[in-house]
Amino acid sequence: MKLNKKFILDAVEEHGTPLLIVDHDIIRQNYAAFRKHLPRIQAYYAVKAFTNEEIVKTLFNAGCSFDVASMPEFNMVYECVKYMPPQRRQDWIWDKIIYAHPIKSESTLRELDKYKPLVTYDNREEIRKIRKNAPNAGLALRLKVPNTGAMVELSSKFGASPGEAVDLILAADKAGLTVEGISFHVGSQTTNFQNYVQAINLAANVFQEARSRGYRKMNLLDIGGGFPAPYDKSVRPFRELARTINSELNRLFPKDIQILAEPGRFIVATAATEVSQIIGKAVRDGKLCYYINDGVYHTFSGIIFDHCSYHFESLKGGKKELCTVFGPTCDALDVVSMSEMLPSRLKIGDVLTSRNIGAYSIVSSTSFNGFPSAKILHINN
């Protein structure tokens, strides 16, 4: 639904601020668009992008699967899975959940083992840990691939080099484990589509080398996340990226290879709008400054942790000027924006909104300085 002025003001009147409004119709639309443009790929929503039970339920009911990276995330998804008929539940674990954190504690592996999960790994020590603590797991080798142009780079922290990949596959096989396939991640909010081209080609080369060295058990490719949200006009349409990916997958991977992906930001970024109120106003060094009751320690944490920029809209009109928007805490780090064009006559209590803030925002919220996190309002028609 469209968040018009009346709806927002009524929501503020009923729920107060700060408020994060989540539109589940947009979540369903984004998931449907992903499936439409990438028909070979099963989407495993990256729960860490916005870890929320209501969102998980909406996507589960739409047919989505899930990428989890912690036991709380796993258990949140399993709350949906466990209501399936017992005879189907275990068979659906791999269809519904991949534990895609390459580095796992031994206690986590022991807890996972009873589910016979699909997990990722990228080094020999992880093989030893999995063999000892989760021998019933299936494995996907996480491959290091180019992250050029990604907003958040991941390849320096995770991923086996292509040159050692098959050695790690054979080492897992020798340890009595089954490597089901290859996974990679091109970096979060990747607008450089060639990252996917290079990564898919690297993965295909690893498949080929593994077969040439006698390992023929792999039938899965996980192309990870990174699918960009349309924050601004510089982001090319998703359908263009999908054409590129489809072309490479169809060229390099036969139909019997299962393809999955881990979209997070793409699914939820555009589905949430933050609503805050002005709690202070000042002129500093000749520049108008507004203080709001939400900030970088709360819903706008993506400024710090996600390298993301957010912008504001006012529900009131009037002549605009360049402003700074500060968060509510006493920390000078709490700067939401240094360059917002907002009406100069806004008053204490007036409302500002910030769109496209559903990904990696409130999930990193803290209670620093005693200020509460935004209340989440779900619109789920």
Which residues are annotated as catalytic? 330
Written as six digits, the tokens of 253 are 């991977």
| Cross-strand pairs, 320 | 343
Q: What single letter denotes the amino acid at residue 344?
A: S
C-beta separation of 48 from 69 below 8 A? yes
Burial of 18 (0-12, 13-18, 19+ CB in 10 A): buried
For residues 292 and 277, what is the distance between their CA atoms, to the nearest angstrom?
Answer: 5
Written as six digits, the tokens of 107 are 């206690």
Burial of 155 (0-12, 13-18, 19+ CB in 10 A): buried
User: In which residue are the tokens 């990696």 written?
Assistant: 360
